[in-house]
Structure 1
């Protein structure tokens, strides 16, 4: 016959699908009963009433307990945490906070922060963001994406995210797709309603995404910025001074000049420029297979050279992503190309960019060294 301890150990293998921690660790197991015939009844306390993922929890709890020897049946019942239990859960996950704190801004944070920027729209910045996120995830990294393009949010569509965030007390649980945690203002609006906000509202929303969302322990956080050097770019620099800029451009010289300005903001915000990604670099001729360059050439290298001179350090050209209709198709379908067709030339180049960023040292800027005067 299984014991309560046996069932508890089995339940420790079940993670809450939003918090990504064992339900036993989160005190979500409200009770365990075992009949003489081996039937097990488990009561699970949901964080909120009507939790949209309760069926997932039920399925995983049933499977975990049913694998125990001697179990003849599993019944899962649901309750709801009290306000006190939810407050305790929030303290356990987010800590005691007198005011909203952005954990990624702490000097000891090990999360790599990349703000993906562009000078103008239409250069494929969001496509680069979601595919880099998927490439990092495929490398075994824990990844989050903030869709900071409040007016032109498109990340949920490109990652296939349809679920909405769940709020527990003052915490927001971000939905996930392909193992990537995502938050976007589009998850809080009805249909395709536009966002009509001025600077202070944009700053407040971005701060909430960074401080109130429970991200867990992330290896990488990507922020998809709106084009240009406006309010959001300034807010990111203020809220996340350790965030590095990834500048996306096309080969076209007009686009490169604007992209250079987007990267040069680092001089005023004292941020590091991680590198440049040239998108839509070339495409193979459908008849002879030779490279065609519909948008010209040299834009990415020009931005890299110009930013290197301005910041006084090497700003690498991290990759040149070819034009590929599948990149657009998979974005519309909600599955990044690096996952849908990893051998496509564009996918290979994007994965190479992720590899190059992963291989870079984090540096010591802003980190405590633990030194004291003798």
Structure 2
């Protein structure tokens, strides 16, 4: 068995996350054959620690079945910077900025954002979160931190570290009850300072929790800040979907790739009888994704635990990392990061199925 034959077998195996063969995707860092044994090193462009063993087992089976070889398979990840808007360059110490947006408030965007950040971290990435909602910052409460940033030189701030995330928010700098009675230019200046004057340390991803709508903050983000991709959060109801479309169209106009849609509050499970009920309707996120040709990254339930954990300063992925809800967030995080790393391959992403198990 030759190395070329081994590579051909690897390239014929289309991975469901990247949508193409391992060789075509540029993921084969090493491949060798020694008698009846093979050694393969796969280097993914996104964090996927939670499924490294699963991928390795599948590849060993493929190599055994198609090439007749026993294989040693190593899976690792190397995250690089991806394309941003024209005339902008990735920021030092931040490989990728990912915006989490919604067209309207009340859809759980901030909760999704912080759990997405924690999920990427759980998958092996270095992650930060920037709370871009100047008028209504919520990340300090969700992260359970009332610390104040330090500034050793009087010009730059160290991020707050909470649950392993590097974080920055106007909420760390003001009293929680203090209203921000600012006009648009002051708000955009504050966002620029929070991003540019924070000493972020070697981040693979900076998650930006945007305020709802398509106003000053979103305009500043799209024109001045190098964004690699965006995730749209919506609920299934028609009103939320109408506004989500506006946010989606905004990112398309400024040439920021939309990585996909997260449908939050997709169903509620009765705590007494276990009945699933689609309180806000059903299928809205899938219709939106289908209409615009983007990925449906996943669905999340309306669950009391998610609210209690976020309000208590320990979001779901940190509070119950092995639980079913945390695994949903991690699946969404892997899909979004793979979409950023390898682009759009229609039909390549597996559906996240709901079961009663």
Q: TM-score category by the smaller chain? A: 0.5 to 0.7
Instruction: Give the corresponding residue for 2:132.
Output: 148
- Residue 363 of structure 1: how far off its partner (Å): 5.8
Counterpart selection for 1:276 from 255, 261, 277:
261
> Within 5 Å, which residues of 2 pair with 1:1-374?
105-106=89-90, 111-169=95-153, 170-308=155-293, 315-362=294-341
- Residue 125 of structure 1: how far off its partner (Å): 0.2
Q: Does structure 2 conserve the Cα–Cα contact (< 8 Å) formed by 1:278 and 1:319?
A: yes
CA–CA distance in structure 1, aligned partners of residues 134 and 300 of structure 2: 26
Q: Does structure 2 conserve the Cα–Cα contact (< 8 Å) formed by 1:113 and 1:222?
A: yes
> Higher Cα Rg: structure 1 or 2?
1
- Residue 192 of structure 1: how far off its partner (Å): 1.3
CA–CA distance in structure 1, aligned partners of residues 337 and 99 of structure 2: 15
Q: Deviations over 1:157-203 (max 9, x none)?
A: 10112211111221111111011011111111134101111111111
Which TM-score applies when normalising by structure 2? 0.68
Secondary structure of 2:341's partner? Answer: coil
- Residue 206 of structure 1: how far off its partner (Å): 1.1
CA–CA distance in structure 2, aligned partners of residues 235 and 363 of structure 1: 27
CA–CA distance in structure 2, aligned partners of residues 331 and 359 of structure 1: 26
Secondary structure of 2:146's partner? Answer: coil
Q: Deviations over 1:254-301 (max 9, x none)?
A: 111111111110232121101100000012233442321111111111
Which 5+ residue runs of structure 1 have no aligned equivalent? 1-103, 309-314, 365-374
Which TM-score applies when normalising by structure 1? 0.65
Secondary structure of 2:203's partner? Answer: coil
Count of aligned positions: 255
Mark the CA change 1:135 to 1:107 in structure 2 (over 3 Å): closer, same or farther: closer
- Residue 338 of structure 1: how far off its partner (Å): 1.2
Secondary structure of 1:220's partner? Answer: strand
Which 5+ residue runs of structure 2 have no aligned equivalent? 1-87, 344-357
CA–CA distance in structure 2, aligned partners of residues 174 and 107 of structure 1: 16
Q: Does structure 2 conserve the Cα–Cα contact (< 8 Å) formed by 1:146 and 1:182?
A: yes
Greater RCO (Cα-Cα under 8 Å, separation 6 or more): 2
